[in-house]
Structure 1
Amino acid sequence: MTDEREIISRREERKRRTRERLLDAGRTLFSERGFDQTTIDDIVAAAHVSRGTFFNYFDNKDAVLAALHRVHMDKLPAIIDDLLARELTTAERIQALFDDVVDAAVTLEKYFRATTRELDRDLATPAISAARTERFIVAFGRVLEAGVARGEVRVDYPLRFLSQMVTAVYVTTIRYWRQDTVFDMELEFERAAAFIAEAIAPPENGDPSGPKGGSGPDGGSEG
């Protein structure tokens, strides 16, 4: 007799596979046609499921896009792990993260424009925006923290402040690319990465501990 738990497990596995087919179909179609030119009917046809099945998993086409963006966000910690395992400077690690964006925009422009639409939606959804921004801050914070240990990152500002700054430049550059059709992404992302590398580097005066007895970076008084 088949165990009830085995039946449930098989059912859950079927659901997982069906959801993955829908996501794969969305990913392929968004890459080929773009988001606006893809319909729910296109997705269900490519996934070989019915419209009714689609709505068992997603409320609309936007929900498919949001799920695909979450897949990429979920990969971010592993990407950071890989960069930290390689013998790179902090500036090179940040440059690598920016280069990944450029590669995606060049090789899969329609798909990248679709998934980064989620960053624009964040402006209208503060709760989602805060959660997504926090993931970027944590990711960049890990890179900067490793750089502090190597003497490559300034310590006169709180690490979180620097991570927020890097996140702001990163996300803003992507948004700017989305809004400007003549934007030279390769050039501008290279410039943005160079700006960050300069901004996070220890002060040239050779005193990485920063100013003494003045106003701290958080607006409070030091000393």
Structure 2
Amino acid sequence: MGLRETKKRRIAESVLKAAQRLFLEQGVAATTMQAIAGDAGISRASLFNYYPGKEVIVAALAARMEPRLVQLVHHYQSRTATTGECIDALFDHLAKVVGPTVELTRLLFVQGNGGVAYPQLAAALTDLVSNGQRQGDVRSDKSAPALSELLYLEVVACLLGWAFTEQMSERELFRRRAELVKANLLV
């Protein structure tokens, strides 16, 4: 990769970091392209050469979400643990990450990908369930794809924050959802 291409990638990355930081601090609606450009250390005109609007920035940030989630599933699956322990660790990790950024996470998950499902995440969760069936700690009366759909929907529900209440912390919500999933999946 040439010097020019390296510089372009570095600037694009600094824009995304600046946008994410500003979105978290003041919300997407209140964040202007001018503010993003200033925080990234480039002119507004240069910013538009990289990202023609905030919706493109949101989509770029959202595109990073699925690979990170898949990597997280694979990380916990690679440990020597039961499927239940993997689910607990996954939901606990998500609670820690999503808790402070729930509004941005919801925005990225819903608007950033145009409401499209995350097929790589679904496949990773199906692998987790299939491995659990082979280990004998996940029920085998249903197919792995059918069982993993429940797990996928609970992960999505947590990421979207559908059930967040003021009486319950994010950590408690994620823990309860993990227990629900395990009650339906595990032997």
* TM-score calculated relative to the size of structure 1: 0.74
Q: For residue 70 of structure 2, what is the aligned residue in structure 1?
A: 77
Q: For residue 159 of structure 1, what is the aligned residue in structure 2?
A: 144
CA deviations over 1:118-163 (Å, ceiling 9, x no partner): 333379x4xx513x2x122112112112211210111211111111
Matched ranges for 1:47-66 at <5 A: 47-66=40-59
Query: Given the alignment of the two structures, is residue 129 of structure 1 paired with residue 113 of structure 2, yes or no?
Result: no
CA deviations over 1:40-60 (Å, ceiling 9, x no partner): 111000001111221122231
Alpha-carbon separation, structure 2, partners of 1:195 and 1:148: 18
SS for the counterpart of 1:99 is: helix
Compute the displacement of 1:66 (Å): 2.1
Query: Given the alignment of the two structures, is residue 182 of structure 1 paired with residue 170 of structure 2, yes or no?
Result: no
Alpha-carbon separation, structure 2, partners of 1:76 and 1:26: 21
Asked if structure 2 preserves the Cα contact closer than 8 Å seen for 1:153 and 1:201, the reply is: yes
In terms of mean alpha carbon deviation, does 33-42 or 160-169 score higher? 33-42
Alpha-carbon separation, structure 2, partners of 1:86 and 1:56: 43
Structure number, greater radius of gyration: 1
SS for the counterpart of 1:129 is: coil
Q: For residue 103 of structure 2, what is the aligned residue in structure 1?
A: 113
Matched ranges for 1:98-109 at <5 A: 98-106=91-99, 108-109=100-101
Alpha-carbon separation, structure 2, partners of 1:181 and 1:80: 26
Code of the residue aligned with 1:76 in structure 2: it is: L
Alpha-carbon separation, structure 1, partners of 2:181 and 2:12: 39
Count of residue correspondences? 186
Code of the residue aligned with 1:98 in structure 2: it is: F
Alpha-carbon separation, structure 2, partners of 1:170 and 1:105: 11
Compute the displacement of 1:179 (Å): 7.0
* TM-score calculated relative to the size of structure 2: 0.87
Change beyond 3 A, Cα 1:58–1:45: same
Alpha-carbon separation, structure 2, partners of 1:190 and 1:169: 11
Alpha-carbon separation, structure 2, partners of 1:146 and 1:20: 36
Q: For residue 123 of structure 2, what is the aligned residue in structure 1?
A: 138
Compute the displacement of 1:81 (Å): 2.7
Compute the displacement of 1:181 (Å): 5.3
Change beyond 3 A, Cα 1:179–1:144: closer
Asked if structure 1 preserves the Cα contact closer than 8 Å seen for 2:126 and 2:144, the reply is: yes
Give the root-mean-square deviation of aligned CA atoms: 2.2
Asked if structure 2 preserves the Cα contact closer than 8 Å seen for 1:84 and 1:143, the reply is: yes
CA deviations over 1:14-42 (Å, ceiling 9, x no partner): 11111001011112212322323321111
